[in-house]
Amino acid sequence: MHTLMTEVLGYEKYGVAGSDYGALVTSALGHKYADSIIGLHYGQDMPPGQFANERFWDLTDGAKIPEDASPELRAGLENLVDTYVSHVAVHMLDASTLTHGLNDSPIGMLAWLLRRWKKWSDKRGNFEENFPRDFILTQATTFWVTQSIGTSIRMYRNAVRYPWVPSHNRQPIVEPPAGFTFLLGDAYPPAVSTVEERIAAFENGLTRSSFNVVNVNAHMKGGHFVHYENPEAFTSDLRKTFRKLR
């Protein structure tokens, strides 16, 4: 990506934006090529090395729900695990086995993809509006005719087989100015129900120190798929982030 922007397209400086796995790419670029990057904007707060732990297949890293957890926190943690754990675990541990099954069955592959879109999106939103049938069928057809479902799954285990290696020990590890758009319909973080709580969860969380934060916003509308579920908010926040860099 850096070679494309600087050597192929000829930009001395560029900006980066991403969410989901793209947030990991954004962070890796921001860490290694900070001198060439004007700024970053994220849909999720994911520092580089996200899967660099002993229990790489386990989103909770072996943690149990605290016995004294409030009912809201317990429900939120259970929902977080129920939403994401099967996706990460099977992609990490049985990627090739799953690939053969999905490549062999277009119905099976469509069911797998649709489960993620429906489970990870905002339950308060209108799924059919955010993900029209033509969009779903186009995405699934692209995976099917190119037989690329396997490579999309393999990148999870490859993050462990070929782990991120720091280029320096400066702090924060992602140095360019960074902005964030958080949507409250996501299962992460658990037990967050207001814009203020979502921003506070980030400001007081473990990932905050990894970034040079200049802009943080949260919005009620939308879930995990930031660009699809609330593109207006993401675009507006991205513009605010880069205005702060002038």
Kindly provide the residue ranges of all beta strands, DSSP E only, lying in 35-93, ordered along the sequence.
Answer: 37-42
Residue that the structure tokens 């600087």 belong to: 6
Please give the Cα distance from 208 to 212 (Å, whole number). 8
- Give me the pLDDT at residue 59, please: 84
Contact 92, 157 (CB under 8 A): yes
CA 36 – CA 15 distance, rounded (Å): 9
Confidence of residue 62 (pLDDT cuts 50, 70, 90): confident
Asked if the model's pLDDT at residue 61 lies above 90, the reply is: no
Task: Copy the structure tokens of residue 39.
Answer: 């700024």
Token pair for 15: 């900006």
Mean pLDDT over the full length of the chain? 94
Q: For residues 175, 34, 5 and 226, what is the CA-based torsion angle, rounded to 10 degrees?
A: -10
Residue 51 binned pLDDT confidence (cut-offs 50, 70, 90) = confident
